[in-house]
Structure 1
Amino acid sequence: MPSYRYRDVYARVDVPLTERVWPNRRLTQAPLWVPVDLRDGNQALPEPMDPARKRRFFEQMIAMGYKEIEVGYPSASQTDFDFVRLIAESEIAPDDVTIVVFTPARRDLIERTVHSIHGITNPVVIHMYTATAPTWREVVLGKMRDELRELILAGGRDILELTDHLPNTRFEFSPEVFNLTEPDYVIEICNAMTELWDATPERPVILNLPATVEIATPNVYADQVEYMHRNLDRRDAVILSVHPHNDRGTGVACAELALLAGAQRVEGCIFGNGERTGNVDIAVLALNMHAQGIDPMIDFSDIEEIRRTVEYCNRIEVHPRHPYVGDLVHTAFSGTHQDAIKKGFAEHWNRAAGQNRSERDIEWRVPYLPIDPSDIGRNYDAVIRVNSQSGKGGIAYLLAAEYGIELPRRLQIDFARRVQERADASGLEITAPQLLALFESIYVASDTAGVELIDLESVTHDNVNHTRLSLSIAGVKHSGTYRGIGPVEAAARLLGDQQIAVDVVSLHQSSLAAGIASDALTLIEYRSSTGTRWAAGRDRSVLTAAVNAVLCAARAIASESAAA
């Protein structure tokens, strides 16, 4: 690969910053969030949003709590212009939401933009941009530095003139491709714009610093932002904003380090749509903060509905491994991961019970799950799924979570081996219903031929148990009445009298979850000629379920004897 064709970023951008503070800072609060899905994200779609999709997306953002939304590029698209007019002529935007519209530094396009916002009573930000990097100046615009500076200032003057009669309007400037522009030139232009627009703390100007095409490691972007933060004039009258793209796959890191470096506002897209590899993902940024104990000030408690809206409006599916929202991000297939998660859940629930507090009110520290899926409206159904990589912990968790079947540890080991054989043979994931069916086929034998329960009665008189039992063995009825023992021992004795020895080592009672007819389930460990094995029985009656488990073991022992 001809890597020699590309210049190292340090040869293109020399940031005159010798001491930096951002490496020693910590994020403590959320920035101002500005979703640009309706403008930047929309212009990157193969099929731009129609009016219905734009409105649905806008209303979703409102519901999530965004207070500043870039709604379109009204001079570039009739659809965008019409959507801005919809906001002006209806009440779909709450009074506390700031509307942002985007325009190049060209008078006719600024006029069209200003025309679109007439009648909007919300606060409005007019966002003007011009590319400033050397390649863009020379190749695209054909301007020298001084010529481009004058073009930008002329656009700024046009905005002042054309909005002079409009109340509640503020201004934003983006030196597009900021991250490839000479630092001294960016400072010069930005200072000229804040002076022109008379930035004050009461009416601040937004200076937005786009990493339009990501070209460096995140620390370089942080240095560039800190340099601006420390050297801008009227700093207390400036809201310093960033707009990272994701060409190198580090857009989120760039935004986080930029906030450490002094940025106060972040523009991006929910789930990261945008040109090329996308805009910075402001959902990931917000939920990263949530995972650090910082309130992101945006509501992601129903992330599935948010995803449905974004996928519908963008006509692009969210990847199953997308952070936080993907179908598989809270799912473990690996046995070691599953075991750790299962133990983590148990410890979490025990801590909550021990403190007599809700599970949602105590510190989250479940291995492999950075946040509680329930925080974003997810349940635990898909946390553990089974395939050939899965272990006993995950299999046991799934049976317990889906059906209420609590497997003893030794049975977990035995069943995991059987599941692994099935998964290896098919190469496919095994779903919870398939797991239950496999469990029943191995341990709850449905074939009653050879040994069958006919009748069972167990009563207690004067604290002494009396059991009456009738079995069909090889088609012949056998009955017995026993004093002082329960149904399990009675069944074992009656079987033993017919030379079918069932030596029960341990017995475990469980119950199946609602939806499986609320059956009782008995698991027994017994000795056979081939070693210790397991059998299970189920029935509405706990006593009958226990006897059925013994009979299941008896059938297996009889089959072994016949085979021998």
Structure 2
Amino acid sequence: MFDHRKYQKQYYLPPVMTYDWVKKDSIEQAPIWCSVDLRDGNQALAAPMDLSEKLKMFELLVEIGFKEIEVAFPAASDTEFQFLRTIIENHMIPEDVTIQVITQAREHIIRRTFEALEGVPKAIVHLYNSTSEAQRRQVFQKSKEEIKQLAIDGAIWVQKYAQKTKGDFYFQYSPESFPGTEVEYALEICNEVLEVWQPTPDHKVIINIPTTVENAMPHIFAGQIEYIHKHLQYRDSVVLSIHPHNDRGCGVSDAEFGVMAGADRVEGTLFGNGERTGNVDLITVAMNLYSHGVDPKLKLGNMPKICETYEQLTKMKVHERQPYSGALVFTAFSGSHQDAIAKGMKYREAAQSEFWDVPYLPIDPADVGRNYETEVIRINSQSGKGGIGYVLQHHYGIKLPYSMNEEMGYLVKEESDHKHKELSSQEIYQVFERSYLEFRPVLNVADFRFTREEEITADVTVEYQGKQQQISGRGKGRLDSVSNALKHELGLEFVLEDYEEHSLGKDSSAKAIAYVGIKHQDNYYWGAGTDEDIIRASVFALTVAINRMIEHKGRAIR
């Protein structure tokens, strides 16, 4: 039964809510990033990665530029344990990368964790225990003091086994299920753990605040983080970290507001993989910074490769609308969007603008390895003339006159609607080709030659209504003389209204294209022609325009 009355707010406000973070209008520098793909993301897969897949994922994360990577829960399974031993014994951890492992606050698990870490160059040991009111009451049936003692004992055991194990160790503590924990109580536990570990500015401890189940609005989470930021002991010796989940769909907001509220570090995954609705998508958070002119300190310039590798290893899909990385996020099907993008791109090229401000594109798609030619403007029945004109110009060098572009737009949308699918650039060109270049069902000009006296005379060989005949006409120009021959000798009525031409290439041997528009009564008809000779191209264009007029008149009569 769908009944909202069974629910109530399950989060706690700090004793004092401050809003200093609200006064900031941006994030000035990237936080420390920690990928948890190999642990939190991996445990959420229906089929967790095997050893070889985990190694490939580790290589990908290093390539992207993560300097802190949570690689395993070593006590959880043999695969986790062996993966950690593999990268340590084979010296696969770069000098500038610190691996992280996670452990519950239980001595035998902590002991097993350090067995897996023996000989590691440098590692973060991430200790956690659940602190929420619901778990204290329902799962553990323990008091606040008993739960706090679990954390303290865990911190002591971590310190004890670190001293016995070869390696350079840093410690991290998380009050798991923080959103359901009284904020001042979570702070009290964190400070007790810090008292055990006694961090210094030269050897800091990480206090990590997870939104294990996101249940508060982002501004509430920011207020909680700001309170902890202001009241943590040893603050100059603590890296304040956050680990947002996405149960309310606000993981990115939690991360950004949390950093503004004092967090120094963000844990998350590629594309938001993780339990239930997943962790915060670090790519989105990093690219949001990038779009504001802040260096994200991650290498995200080949997004298609990152997506492909991720999908191969996790068997998960990157959604088409995933910010920055989805296949359709830079694609415009809407006519008005296409028109604005096409004009914005032309403006940017002409103005040689230093900054990116193309309408509807928050960043330059090329920055993340996306392709203008095939991805930015795509055509279906919802598209407009601007996008269709952009595709023809970008792929084929065809610059349609304005009203011809509008007419072409209707033809393409009709084709897409009929086929119930998106049209490729080749299919769009085929519509143009059959409608404006090759459409000669009734009239065809087979040959022509010109003589000049006071006016130009055109002698034209035509095929009209199945018969070939010779006609002639005079005019002030060559196209005008052919037009007059067709009108006077074949009894055709039209006015030559528009003529445009341009080259289809940059070298001297490139073909030219001509566009001719004629008018009959209140109707307008366009044709196009291509040839090395611009006069021949113009005559071909005129012929198509007349055929379109004849066809339209025939349909009207029928």
Query: TM-score normalised to the size of structure 2?
Result: 0.92
> Which of 476, 492, 495 is the aligned partner of 2:483?
492
Secondary structure (helix, strand or coil) at the match of 2:71 reads: strand
Over the matched positions of the two proteins, sequence identity in percent amounts to: 38
Moved more, 262-271 or 475-484: 475-484
Task: Give 1:481 deviation, angstroms.
Answer: 9.7
Are the counterparts in 1 of residues 30 and 286 from structure 2 also a CA contact under 8 Å? Answer: yes
**Which among 521, 539, 555 is matched to residue 547 of structure 2?**
555
Match of 1:15 in 2: 14
The one-letter amino acid paired with 1:545 is: A
RMSD: 2.5
Partners of 2:71 and 2:379 in 1: how far apart? 44
Match of 1:472 among 462, 482, 498: 462
The 5-angstrom pairing of residues 105-116 of structure 1 reads: 105-116=105-116
1:524 aligns with 2:509: no
Instruction: Find the counterpart in structure 2 of residue 64 from structure 1.
Output: 64
Which residue identity is paired with 2:231?
A: N
Code of the residue aligned with 2:482 in structure 1: it is: A
The farther-off stretch of 335-344 and 172-181 is: 335-344
User: What residue is the counterpart of 2:5 in the other structure?
Assistant: 4
| CA distance, structure 2, for counterparts of residue 506 and residue 446 of structure 1 | 19
CA distance in 1, matches of 2:455, 2:489: 23
Contact 1:37/1:268 (8 A) holds in 2: yes
Partner amino acid, structure 2, of 1:272: G
The count of residues paired between Structure 1 and Structure 2 equals 547
Within the alignment, does 1:368 sit opposite 2:369 as a pair? no
Counterparts of 1:94 and 1:334, CA distance in 2: 46
Amino acid at match of 1:55: L
Question: Are 1:150 and 2:149 an aligned pair?
Answer: yes
Instruction: Sort the Cα spacing of 1:467 and 1:98 in 2 relative to 1 into closer, same or farther, 3 A.
Output: farther
1:509 deviates by 1.6
Q: How many angstroms apart in 2 are the aligned matches of 1:270 and 1:467?
A: 72
Which deviates more, 234-243 or 468-477?
468-477
Q: Which residue of 2 aligns with 1:250?
A: 250
Counterpart residue type for residue 363 of structure 2: I
Identify the match of residue 535 of structure 1 among 523, 527, 536: 527
* Between 500-509 and 205-214, the greater mean CA deviation after superposition: 500-509
When residues 108 and 139 of structure 1 are mapped into structure 2, their CA distance, relative to the original with a 3 A threshold, is same
Distance in 2 of aligned mates of 1:493 and 1:558: 16
- C-alpha change, 1:481 and 1:491, in structure 2 (3 Å) is closer
CA distance 1:534–1:145, shift in 2 (3 Å): same
Cross-structure match for 2:405? 412
Aligned to 2:53: 53
For residues 141-540 of structure 1, the aligned pairs below 5 Å read: 141-164=140-163, 165-352=165-352, 362-380=354-372, 381-447=374-440, 450-454=443-447, 470-474=460-464, 475-478=467-470, 485-486=477-478, 488-499=479-490, 500=492, 503-512=495-504, 519-529=511-521, 531-540=523-532
For residue 376 of structure 2, give the secondary structure of its aligned residue in structure 1. Answer: coil
- Which letter does structure 2 place at the counterpart of 1:471? T
Q: Distance in 1 between matches of 2:345 and 2:371?
A: 13
Question: Cα distance, 1:153 vs. partner?
Answer: 1.6
Instruction: Write the distance in 2 (CA, Å) between the matches of 1:502 and 1:58.
Output: 71
Q: Deviations over 1:404-423 (max 9, x none)?
A: 21111111222223334344
Residue-by-residue CA offset, 1:187-235 (whole Å, 9 max, x unaligned): 2211111121110100000000000000110011111111100001100
The aligned residue for residue 355 of structure 1 is none
Amino acid at match of 1:261: A
1:272 Cα deviation after fit: 0.2
For the Cα contact (< 8 Å) 2:333–2:383, is it kept in 1? yes
The amino acid across from 1:190 in the alignment is: C
Q: Is the 8 A contact 1:218 1:257 kept in 2?
A: yes
| 8 Å Cα contact 1:336-1:391 kept in structure 2 | yes
Structure 2 counterpart of 1:182, which letter?
A: E
Query: Deviation at 1:552?
Result: 1.7
Distance across 1 between alignment mates of 2:525 and 2:545: 8
Asked whether the 8 Å contact 2:17–2:223 carries over to 1, the reply is: no
Out of 256-265 and 180-189, give the one that drifted further. Answer: 180-189
Tell me if the contact between 2:515 and 2:529 (Cα under 8 Å) persists in the aligned partners. Answer: yes
| TM superposition score normalised by structure 1 | 0.91
User: Aligned equivalents of 1:285 and 1:21: distance in 2?
Assistant: 21
Q: Which runs of 5+ in 2 are unaligned?
A: none
1:495–1:502: 8 Å Cα contact kept in structure 2? no
Q: Is the 8 A contact 1:286 1:298 kept in 2?
A: yes
Once the two structures are TM-superposed, the CA of residue 261 in structure 1 deviates from its matched residue by 0.6
Counterpart-to-counterpart distance in 1, 2:166 and 2:315 = 37
Q: Please state how far the C-alpha of 1:41 moved relative to its aligned partner.
A: 0.4
**Is the partner of 2:101 in helix, strand or coil?**
strand
Q: CA distance change for structure 1 residues 240 and 557 in 2, over 3 Å: closer, same or farther?
A: closer
* Alpha-carbon contact 2:100-2:125 (below 8 Å) kept: yes
After TM superposition, give the deviation of residue 176 of structure 1 in Å.
0.4
Amino acid at match of 2:302: D
Instruction: Give 1:135 shift.
Output: 1.3
Deviation at 1:391, TM superposition (A): 1.8
Q: How far apart in 2 are the matches of 1:345 and 1:154?
A: 61
- Give the letter aligned to residue 485 of structure 2: L
Matched, 1:28 2:31: no
Indicate the larger mover: 552-561 or 225-234. 552-561
More deviation in 316-325 or 406-415?
Answer: 406-415
Q: Is the 8 A contact 2:517 2:542 kept in 1?
A: no
1:372, distance to aligned residue in structure 2 (A): 0.9
Q: Distance in 2 between matches of 1:19 and 1:557?
A: 73
- 2 CA distance for matches of 1:477 and 1:231? 97
Matches of 2:488 and 2:212, distance apart in 1 = 85
Change over 3 Å in CA distance of 1:283–1:344 after alignment to 2? same
Gaps of 5+ in 1: 353-358
Conservation of the 8 A alpha-carbon contact between 2:516 and 2:542 = yes
Give 3-state SS (helix, strand or coil) of 2:408's partner.
helix
